[in-house]
Amino acid sequence: MINLIKRKLESLFSGYKSSLSSDLENIKVSQGLILNKLNLGNSTPLILDDITKSEFKIFSQWGDDGIISFLVSYLEIKDKRFVEFGVENYTECNTKFLLISQNWRGLIMDGSNKNMTSLRTSDLYWKFDITAVDVFVTAENIDSLLKDNGFSGEIGILHIDIDGNDYWIWKSVTVANPIIVIVEYNSIFGFEQPWTIPYNPSFVRTEEHYSNLYYGTSLLSICDLAEEKGYHFIGCNSNGNNAYFVRKDWIKGLRVVSPQDGYIESKFREARDENGTLTFVTGSERLNQLRGKKIHNTRTNSLEDI
C-alpha cells in the first residue's frame, strides 16, 4: 500500500514538474520575443554599430539569443533553415530560441549518441522540424552531412562550435551558402596571431592538453577565412567566444569591423591543472600554459611554437 501511494505521488510530481517546466519555457520565449521587438525599435541604430547591444539570453549560454534574433529579423531572412553542431543535448544552445519562437527548420549534430537520442525522444522533436544526427563532424564529412540532410544551397545560419577543428570545417564547407555564419573562436590566441590548431580529424579538446585551453582558432584566422568566402566580420558576443559574419550581399546597415576593433577577450576561467582541477587563471597566463605547443599559422601555412 505504501509503495502504491509512493508511486502515485512520484507520478503526480513528475507530471507537475513537466508542466511547470513547459510553462516556464513559454514565459521565457515570450520575454525573448518582447526583447527582440524592443531591439528592432529605437535601439536599432545602436545595435547596427555594436551587435552586443542586442544581447539577451533565453536558451543560449551567453547573450547570443538576442544577437541572432535581431540579425534574422533585421535582415528579413526568408530561408528559415539553420545548422548548429557541437550542442550536446540541445538544452543550452544558440538556435533553440529561433526554432521555437520563429519556427525555423534545423539540423543539429553532436558526436554523442546519448545526447542526440535525448533530443530525438524529447517533445521538442515532434513539435518542430528538427533533425538530430549523432556524428563526429570532420572536414571530410561536413559537405555530405549537409547535402544528405537537405541543408545545401542558401541557408539562414551556419553555427560552428566544436571546441576544435572549427576553422578547418568551415573552410571545407562548399555545398551550403549561409547568410549568417557564427564560429567559436579561442580568445586567448588574441587578435594579432593567424593561428588555429593543426588539423586532426579525431581532435578532442580534453585529450590534447591538460589545461583544456588548446583548441579552435584565433579571431584573425577565422576573419581571414571569412573574407576568402565572401563574408564581413560584424563583431563578437560580449563574452568573447563567438564571432559573427554576414555574407557581403546581405550586410545592409551593419557595421563592418576589423579583427582588432571587434575582438573581445573572454573572461571565463576554465583552465585546469594536470589533475583536472580548475585553476581560475586569467588573462595572458592562460596562453602561457600552452607555451611550446605546436600551432598552425594560417597565413604561412606552416607550424610554429606558441
Note the pLDDT tens digit of each residue in 105-144.
Answer: 999 999 999 999 999 999 999 999 999 999 999 999 999 9
Band of the pLDDT at 86, cuts 50, 70, 90? Answer: confident
The chain-wide mean pLDDT, for the chain, equals 93
- Nearest-angstrom CA–CA distance, 20 and 40: 31
State the cell numbers at 77. 531572412
pLDDT (tens digit, 9 = 90+) per residue, 33-56? 999 999 999 999 999 999 999 999
- Nearest-angstrom CA–CA distance, 77 and 58: 21
State the cell numbers at 247. 555574407
| pLDDT of amino acid 25 | 85
Picking from 216, 256, 209, the residue whose alpha carbon sits closest to that of residue 240 is 216
| pLDDT of amino acid 13 | 47
Band of the pLDDT at 10, cuts 50, 70, 90? Answer: low
Q: How many CB atoms lie within 10 A of CB 46?
A: 13
Instruction: Give the least confident one: 23-27, 95-99, 177-181, 184-188.
Output: 23-27
What is the mean predicted confidence (pLDDT) over 54-59?
97
Tell me: pLDDT of 62 over 60.
yes
pLDDT (tens digit, 9 = 90+) per residue, 143-190? 999 999 999 999 999 999 999 999 999 999 999 999 999 999 999 999
Tell me: pLDDT of 12 over 50.
no
| pLDDT of amino acid 18 | 52
End-to-end CA distance of the chain: 67
Band of the pLDDT at 16, cuts 50, 70, 90? Answer: very low
Tell me: pLDDT of 230 over 50.
yes
Q: Which segments within the chain are labelled E, that is strand?
A: 81-85, 105-110, 130-134, 153-160, 176-184, 195-196, 231-236, 242-247, 294-297, 302-305
Confidence (pTM): 0.92
What is the mean predicted confidence (pLDDT) over 178-206?
97
Q: Which residues contact 155 (CB under 8 A, 6 or more apart)?
A: 79, 81, 82, 83, 176, 177, 178, 179
Whether 142 contacts 119, CB under 8 Å = no
Query: Domains, the chain, ranges and CATH?
Result: 2-305 (3.40.50.150)
Q: How far is CA 200 from the centre of its chain?
A: 20
- Nearest-angstrom CA–CA distance, 154 and 172: 16
Tell me: pLDDT of 191 over 70.
yes
- Nearest-angstrom CA–CA distance, 109 and 246: 22
Tell me: pLDDT of 22 over 80.
no
Which helix or strand (DSSP H or E) is residue 144 part of?
helix 142-148
- Nearest-angstrom CA–CA distance, 256 and 252: 10
Q: How many CB atoms lie within 10 A of CB 152?
A: 15
| pLDDT of amino acid 17 | 46
DSSP conformational letter for 278: B
Q: Is 16 exposed, middle or buried (0-12, 13-18, 19+ CB in 10 A)?
A: exposed
- In percent, how much of the chain has pLDDT > 70? 93
Which helix or strand (DSSP H or E) is residue 98 part of?
helix 96-102
Whether 297 contacts 306, CB under 8 Å = no
Whether 68 contacts 157, CB under 8 Å = yes
Picking from 250, 93, 115, 114, the residue whose alpha carbon sits closest to that of residue 106 is 93
Matching residue, cell 538530430: 132
Question: Edge-to-edge strand order for the sheet containing 176-184?
Answer: 130-134, 105-110, 81-85, 153-160, 176-184, 242-247, 231-236
Picking from 258, 166, 285, the residue whose alpha carbon sits closest to that of residue 218 is 166
